[in-house]
Amino acid sequence: MRRFALQSLLFIASLGMIASAAFAKVTETDFGKTKDGVPAKVFEVTNKNGMKVRLLSRGATLIGVDVPDRDGKLADVVFGFDDMAGYESKANGYFGCTTGRYANRIAKAKFTLDGKEYKLFANDGPNHLHGGDGESLDKVVWDGTPFEKDGVSGVEFAYTSPDGQEGYPGKQEMKVTFTLNDKNELTIDYSAKSDKPTVINLTNHAYFNLGGAGSPTINDHLLTLNADRYTPVDETLITTGKLAPVDGTPLDFRTPTAIGKRVDQLTKTSTLGYDHNFVINRGDAKQGELVEAARLVDPQSGRTLTVMTDQPGIQFYGGNFLKGDKGKGGKSYPYRSACALETQVFPDSPNKQGVEGWTDCVLRPGEEYTHTCVYAFGVEK
């Protein structure tokens, strides 16, 4: 009798497991190996509205976001590739990756911390960009663990960057967690600890076209940036250390404005178009509190993207270096056909510690770096 009861219980339990597997919101598939032979995985997270987010363990990368338009039609609104070779090719302009250990530029590829100079890889003229060369965070394979809890689901990626990797001091333990809820909000939570003083600036580098990745332009997208000021740059795109007003410039997006309306006024400047860090108006918001930094609207499809963050800055990059290379499904990604909205500390902060109004990027042993960015998708009628 007891044996029968135990068997029945096991049977019922296994049925439960099959049922939960059938309705699981996160699936996992292989995505080939990197050129160094490391296997990578793709996780697909689905919410109850049918919104899907795909995440690749190489670079803890956001490789797909299927969201509905005003008629409920889904389209994938971020750039990416169908295979590992695409991600490892020159056509990959950091599409959707976790960027670091220091996203954006560090002047002359070096900085001094506590009196010691650290040399980094110069991969952008004389400067260091997006964490360096072969072992920047976008190129290494992270450990992904899917989760489903309290009505949300997602993937937690973990990676430990060894002391000295790409020239950065300290062994750095990092986590990047992507969480999708049923309000079509994708939250990215970053955290890191280091065993030596170091510098850090993690971000996500997704390229968005709300008409669907592969649509010809974002010139018609309306952008709002909650920023009265930006950080001007020199000829090599290094911040000058000044905070300048956007008022009266093509960088004034305080009210919704078509990206293409004034972009040509910037084509002959060093940024070749939009490629600027904006100083987010945080008002009275406390440290760690989210504020709305940006809102992007595609009037054609009605899709909207609202970016919220606890960070002080947001880089708006308008795809000036895109050249029509082919991505997912053979679609081409032309000049200025997507934009990145990268929440972060200000560029070149390692060389601007102590400059008035500038941001802190130093992480010391015993401290924890945290950063939250929410990409909230919606529709406008």
Binding site for ligand BGC (CB under 6 A): 93-94, 237, 275, 315, 317, 321, 340, 342
What tokens were used for 190? Answer: 């970053």
Alpha helix (H) residue ranges in the chain: 2-22, 84-87
Phi, psi angle pair for 31, to nearest 5°: -130, 35
- 135 annotated active-site: no
Dist. CA 12–CA 9, nearest whole Å:
5
Q: How far apart are the first and last CA of the chain?
A: 63
Q: Answer yes or no: is 275 a known binding residue.
A: yes
The CA distances from residue 260 to 38, 298, 331, 335, 339, in Å, are 41, 13, 22, 12, 12
To ligand BGC, the closest distance from the beta carbon of 98 in angstroms equals 13
Instruction: Please identify which of the residues 128, 166, 185, 205 carries the catalytic annotation.
Output: 205
Residue placing its CB nearer to ligand BGC in the complex, 65 or 233: 233
- Phi–psi pair at 79, nearest 5 degrees: -75, 155
Residue 342 is a catalytic residue: yes
**Is 104 annotated as contributing to ligand binding?**
yes
CB of 122 to ligand BGC, least distance (A): 15
Exactly one of 44, 166, 185, 342 is catalytic; name it: 342
Q: How far apart are CA 125 and CA 60, in angstroms?
A: 26
Using the minimum distance from each CB to ligand BGC, give the nearer residue, 275 or 310.
275
Q: Is residue 206 marked as binding?
A: yes
105 is in an annotated binding site: yes
Strand partners, 42: 29, 56
Nearest distance in Å: CB 20, ligand BGC: 40
If the CB atoms of residues 102 and 142 are measured against ligand BGC, the closer one turns out to be 102
* Residue 138 contacts residue 94 (beta carbons within 8 Å): yes
Give me the least distance between CB of 321 and ligand BGC, in Å please. Answer: 5
Q: Closest CB to ligand BGC among 31 and 316?
A: 316
Task: List residues with catalytic annotation.
Answer: 205, 342
As annotated, the binding site includes: 104-105, 205-207, 275
Query: Binding site residues for beta-D-galactose, as ranges?
Result: 104-105, 205-207, 275
